[in-house]
Structure 1
Amino acid sequence: MIRYAFNKMLLTMKKRYNYDVRYQQDILQADLGAYLKFMGFQTMAAHSAGLPAEPLYAARIRAIIWDDCGPCTQLVVDMALEAKIDARIVRAIIDKDLHKLPEEIAWVVQFTDCVLAHSPEADDLREKIVALWGTQGLISIGYAISAYRVYPALKYALGYGKACSRIQVNESSLVPTRNAVSAEDTARVG
């Protein structure tokens, strides 16, 4: 009965986002305990502690692009648009076009890429993030960076990884910018 209820929830997600949920269905069918742990992980991934949607999705999108440039990224982009984030901001986050982003969102984009690259430039950006959104905001961004990397890793581990594809943002189709920290990023930190 519980498997049926979880599968119904997955089918709703599949329909809502046009997203392949087979890897989650496989976990559910093979090991209910493992699926319940995955659901527990989902609560970490959803944590926001009052952080505004734009910086939260900036971290989520940049983190998922780091490990995926296909269906997982498309899902997070669709969720960002559903959260009413302006499509121009979403496109700039995907493209890592810092000049088209509000300064604080550019900081989150840079911070996320610096964290994932283990770059010391993250330190100055961390201070700016804490000044804007406090330690709770930093934790929310940290959870987004950490959690959103799990989905593509798990999908690839289970054999559901997909090749890179273009990401749709309303009528625009883009290839995610996956580069690490650039000289422009370092210059923009200051």
Structure 2
Amino acid sequence: MIARLLRRSVRRFAARHDYDASYMLHVVDTSTSAGVRLAALPFFTQFTGPRGSGGVWAGAVLASTLEGDCGPCVQLVLDMAIEKGVPADLLALCIEGRAKEAGEVGLGFRFAEAAIADAPELDTLRAEIEARHGAEAVVAASFASAGGRIYPVMKRGLGFGKSCRRLRIGEREIGVVRQA
């Protein structure tokens, strides 16, 4: 019964987002218990923080997902961020390696990159997010920085990883620029 509900939920998600969720179905079919845990992940990864800080969250989850993948998972993050009202042009700037020009989205993007790398600018970026949006926004950006990597890493581990591809933002296609 639970497995059937999980499968239906995964199929609905996949259809809504034009996303290949075969790895999710594999998890559910392998272990209902694992499928329940997979279904709970969005409670962690989709915590966007206080009103007005969604751009910071979107930038952080984008950077984290890019660190783990440059294909379908990143496309899904882009589509979901745009659906939440995050400006597509700011997301594109981050993908193109121009996060400093991307306002709040770029702030979240740079924060996640710094958190992942344990870079010296992390404290400054954290303080900037907290000054603008409060401590809850730092929590959301931290969750996003850690959580965006979960799905691409899990997909590769399960043998469902995809290769890099050009990303689509509206009618525009862009390539990922990796920072050195």
TM-score by length of 1: 0.88
User: What's the counterpart of residue 149 of structure 1?
Assistant: 149
Asked if the contact 1:66–1:178 (Cα under 8 Å) also holds between the matched residues in 2, the reply is: no
User: What's the counterpart of residue 90 of structure 2?
Assistant: 89
Change (3 A) 1:88 1:175: same
The whole-number CA distance in structure 2 between the counterparts of 1:107 and 1:76 is 17
Instruction: Give per-residue Cα distances to partners, 1:133-177, cap 9 Å, x unaligned.
Output: 211110100000111111000000000001100000011111122
Q: Percent identity?
A: 26
User: What's the counterpart of residue 118 of structure 2?
Assistant: 118
Tell me, yes or no, if structure 1 residue 39 matches structure 2 residue 39.
yes
User: What's the counterpart of residue 23 of structure 1?
Assistant: 23
Tell me, yes or no, if structure 1 residue 9 matches structure 2 residue 9.
yes
TM-score by length of 2: 0.93
Equivalent AA in structure 2 for residue 152 of structure 1: P
1:15, distance to aligned residue in structure 2 (A): 1.0
The whole-number CA distance in structure 1 between the counterparts of 2:88 and 2:42 is 25
User: What's the counterpart of residue 183 of structure 1?
Assistant: none
User: What's the counterpart of residue 98 of structure 1?
Assistant: 99
The whole-number CA distance in structure 1 between the counterparts of 2:108 and 2:144 is 11
Asked if the contact 2:72–2:162 (Cα under 8 Å) also holds between the matched residues in 1, the reply is: yes
Structure 2 gap segments, 5+ residues each? none
The whole-number CA distance in structure 1 between the counterparts of 2:100 and 2:108 is 13
1:82, distance to aligned residue in structure 2 (A): 1.0
CA RMSD of aligned residues (A): 1.4
User: What's the counterpart of residue 161 of structure 2?
Assistant: 161
User: What's the counterpart of residue 67 of structure 2?
Assistant: 66
Structure 1 gap segments, 5+ residues each? 181-190
1:99, distance to aligned residue in structure 2 (A): 5.0
Residues 115-124 or 49-58, more deviating? 49-58
Three-state SS of the structure 2 residue aligned to 1:178 is coil
Three-state SS of the structure 1 residue aligned to 2:134 is helix
Instruction: Give per-residue Cα distances to partners, 1:9-59, cap 9 Å, x unaligned.
Output: 111111111111111101101111111122222211111232532111111
4+ long deviations beyond 4 Å: none
The whole-number CA distance in structure 2 between the counterparts of 1:141 and 1:19 is 24
